Structure 1
Amino acid sequence: MPVLLPDLNNRVALVTGGSRGIGRAIAVALASAGAAVAVNYRQRADEAAQVVTLIQGAGGRALAVRADVSAADEVARMVAEVEGGLGAIDVLVNNAGTGTFRDIDVLTEAEFDHTLAVNLKSAFLCTQAVLPGMRARRWGRIVNLSSVAARGAGAVGVHYNASKAGLEGLTRGYAARVAREGITVNAVAPGPIDTEMAAPLKAANIAERLPVGRLGAAEEVAQIVMMVVGNGFVTGQTIAVNGGLSFI
């Protein structure tokens, strides 16, 4: 499906968790708009390499960079590697996340901590790492991938709810502080999207509960990310992409 593309020629983008699913779709869309794209991954090197090959095959610039984005030292190394290979980072998409399904009766402290580290702390670390350069150049776009679970019951668990609600608060806090420096910070909140993570939702036939009658496509989320990347007047917002499951 076509994506309305901003002009990102001479811009560099970093997509965390960009090797598959929504992250992959966003990385490809950014490259289609002219950006050089760093595809972050933690474990799936082969899939990250496939995204890079796809972008390069279309005439774009890309590299894969491994890092656990919940660890400060690895984030610092990742950003240095991207800057050395592609240039200063203009667009940051904090997409990396985890969503292990756990009910409150079996959820452990370790699982809660891990979820907040991957889904929330990582966005803080990556944002802090790229902000100085964006502020110096007085231009930047930061997009955080939230979820319908940030403002609803959700199906994954309270650990996931908390991480995504925190991410939206982080979004608003940064947006208020850097808007006058040419930097926008927004969140995109998908509902059930047809990706690997949504397998349990597909098994439960959740699509029948959605007003549109189907799961979303990763490319539909990418369209909204591209919209906010291309708009310098929208900041501090959370944009829902959920097939009418909820209205926020």
Structure 2
Amino acid sequence: MSVRHVLITGGSRGIGLAIARLFAQNSYRCTLISRNEHALKTAISTLPPLDPKHSSIPHKYIVGDVSDPAFWMHSVVGQKLILTSNTTETHAGHGLKERIDVLVNCAGVTENKLFLRIGRDKLQGIVNTNLTGLMMGTQYLLRNGYIKSKKDDDENYSPVVINMTSLLALQGGFGAVVYSASKAGVLGFTRALAVELGRSGVRVNAIVPGYIETDMIADLDVPRLEKRIPLQRIGKPEEIADAVLFLAKNQYAHNCVINIDGGLSAM
């Protein structure tokens, strides 16, 4: 049985890194994408190494901006810098050429600012990263055969796209108009793509996190937030990763939208 391969955008920190660590612990080979090469190197060095008896291809990273169309057209297959799980570098291969079992679209940015005060460039940047880049990347990987239709003779291959959205896609947030709109778009994309790809055997699902211990809540009043959450606490990235692994493994999970928010969506 071949080692399963997960590609995670925004995989160098926060929720994306927690997902990578959990998948590596479960014997998935990880490819991480982010704009920060130093953060990627650090992230890769923290992943449990793969058993060389089962895979000669190590965990690796690709540096780039997922919101840039040129990244998907050129950089994904053109980059040669690979960092293996034992932190030795090689220039022997290209950026991405293996089949993908799980695509996790986790890259995202936000801006805590009133809608009338947010600049045009910042507005467009949030939408480009959170929604347009996510769609471009998924389309590129599907069109170019990285994510293949499920074949009857390979029962272990159940390809899945898992999109990271947000509770703010369902509930309005003060100072989060553009972020909320972009994440609501991810939910619409997930549902529509699930209809289009269902017969091919490619599954499409989404996670809806509430407030999670990441850089994105650094400027928020956390004690005040915790009082609003029924479980009275902020979530952990590892708790989101658990749900992503479930969606990857459950082969009947298609068009699933899982809220992980400590009960806040019930308020």
What TM-score do the two structures reach when normalised by structure 2?
Answer: 0.83
CA shift, 1:174, in A, is 0.8
| Shift, 1:222, TM fit | 0.4
Check if 1:129 corresponds to 2:148: no
1:151 — aligned with what? Answer: 170
| Residues 1:48 and 2:67 are matched in the alignment | no
Asked which structure has the greater CA Rg, the reply is 2
Superposed counterparts of 1:182-197, under 5 Å: 182-197=201-216
Comparing 209-218 with 50-59, greater Cα deviation is found at 50-59
**What is aligned with 2:107?**
96
Task: Give distance in 2, aligned partners of 1:188 and 1:102.
Answer: 24
Residues 112-131 of structure 1: CA distance to partner in whole angstroms, max 9, x if unpaired?
A: 21111000011101111111
Deviation for aligned residue 1:29: 1.3
What one-letter code is carried by the residue in structure 2 that aligns with 1:38? T
Which of 51, 66, 72 aligns to 2:69? It is 72
The structure 1 residue matched to 2:224, chosen from 192, 200, 205, is 205
Aligned residue number for residue 3 of structure 1: none
Rounded to whole Å, the distance in 2 between the matches of 1:165 and 1:120 is 9
Shift of the 36–77 alpha-carbon distance from structure 1 to 2, 3 Å rule, reads farther
**Do the aligned partners of 2:75 and 2:95 also contact (CA within 8 Å) in 1?**
no
Equivalent residue, structure 2, for 1:140:
159
Contact 1:192 1:201 in 2 (8 A): no
2:27·2:50 contact (CA, 8 Å) conserved in 1? no
1:194-228 CA distance string (max 9 Å, x none): 11111122456311211101100000000111111
What TM-score does the superposition give when structure 1 sets the normalisation length?
0.89
Is the 2:112–2:176 contact (alpha carbons within 8 Å) kept by the matching residues of 1?
yes
Displacement of 1:104 in angstroms is 2.1
Equivalent AA in structure 2 for residue 239 of structure 1: I
Classify the secondary structure of the residue corresponding to 1:200: coil
The CA deviation at 1:151 is: 0.9
Q: Please tell me the residue identity of whatever aligns with 1:113.
A: Q
- 1:137 deviates by 5.0
**Partner Cα separation in structure 2 for residue 157 and residue 191 of structure 1:** 14
Runs of at least 5 residues in structure 2 that lack an aligned partner in the other structure: 53-57, 83-93, 152-157
How far 1:87 sits from its partner (Å)?
Answer: 1.7
CA distance in 1, matches of 2:74, 2:101: 17
Could you say what secondary structure the match of 2:211 adopts?
coil
CA distance in 2, matches of 1:40, 1:142: 15
- Between the aligned partners of 1:78 and 1:238, the Cα distance in structure 2 is 31
1:223 is paired with a residue whose SS is helix
**For the residues of structure 1 that align with 2:75 and 2:15, how far apart are their CA atoms?**
20
What pairs with 1:156-195 in structure 2 (closer than 5 Å)? 156-195=175-214
Asked if the contact 2:62/2:95 (under 8 Å) is kept, the reply is no
Following superposition, the deviation at residue 85 of structure 1 comes to 5.4
The equivalent residue for 1:243 is 262
Q: CA offset at residue 36 of structure 1?
A: 1.0
Which runs of 5 or more residues in structure 1 are unaligned?
Answer: 1-7
Instruction: Name the % identity.
Output: 31
- CA RMSD in angstroms comes to 2.2
